[in-house]
Structure 1
Amino acid sequence: MQSQNRTLAERIVHAVGFEVIAIAICAPLAAWVLDKPLFQMGALSILLSTVAMVWNLIYNAVFDKFFPVGQKRRMPLRVAHSVGFEGGFILIGLPIAAWVLDITLLQAFMVEIGFFLFFLPYSVMYNWAFDALCDRWFRCQAVSSK
């Protein structure tokens, strides 16, 4: 298991991978569900993704201070991590969604709840998989470098 905090490169790979997969799923799905043009939903997805990457880097750096990378991160902690991230991001994304979609804050809140219902399980699974793959990769690197 990795004993030090994640490097900036690992954080960037984590954030970019998370957002690229999310955009590929969310833009077409949201366009279909909301009956909005794919271009508009794609633009919103990319804008929110960019903001989310910055939030992701900040949030995970703080999270790692309280729960260092070397500690075992069981599913309840992963769920709490995701709820905290997504809850904070709803507050950040609400005015952005209202502006881009030209809707009220209440309507934007409903859109954000829809995104939350997708992103909560997605982020739990993504972070679990990222930790497992990262741990396996670094363990393999440590074995091969001996």
Structure 2
Amino acid sequence: MRSWKERLTHTLLFEAGGLVMVTPLASWVSGHGPGEIGVLALGLATTAMLWNLVWNRLFDGWVPTRRRSLVQRLAQALGFELGLLVMTLPVVAWWLAIGLAEAFWLDLGFMLFFLAYALVFNTLFDHVMRRRLAQRGC
């Protein structure tokens, strides 16, 4: 099972990369200013980091291996994104002063983006960690 230190590193790297990619895109797609989107993105990233720690720790218990199948990786990413969507949808609607339906479609677009991003990131992260652990003889 992964340590809390490893999970924290995973989460910080994942969210930093996501913020760099998604903030300008969200500003462009939504028509809201980068500052407004940036504050929202930071709040959502903080929520996502906390959820990521909890979700991935739970998922590690259900699937305790670093060599996960594509189906397991999809389940990991989809479970994370759906949980985050449920938690953040009302906040997005409120912050951007839009309806829940519009917030849903915006969130859905980004959920699909982050689903693909999580699949790639988690696969690469596990590959790097397997190599590091093998070099240490763990």
TM-score by length of 2: 0.95
Distance 1:18 1:39 in 2: 21
- Partner in structure 2 of residue 138 of structure 1: 133
Q: Using the aligned pairs only, state the percent identity.
A: 37
Moved segments of 4+, more than 6 Å: none
The residue type equivalent to 1:126 in the other structure is: F
- Partner in structure 2 of residue 23 of structure 1: 19
Distance 2:16 2:95 in 1: 20
Distance 1:107 1:96 in 2: 12
Q: Which one has the largest radius of gyration? A: 1
- Partner in structure 2 of residue 51 of structure 1: 47
Structure 1 residue matching 2:137: 3-state secondary structure:
helix
**RMSD (CA atoms):** 1.2
Determine whether 1:96 maps to 2:102: no
- Partner in structure 2 of residue 14 of structure 1: 10
Task: Structure 2: give runs of 5+ residues left out of the alignment.
Answer: none
Q: Does structure 2 retain, via aligned residues, the 8 Å contact 1:6–1:69?
A: no
2:109 to 111, 114, 120: 114
Task: Structure 1: give runs of 5+ residues left out of the alignment.
Answer: none
Determine whether 1:32 maps to 2:22: no
Deviation (angstroms), 1:141? 1.7
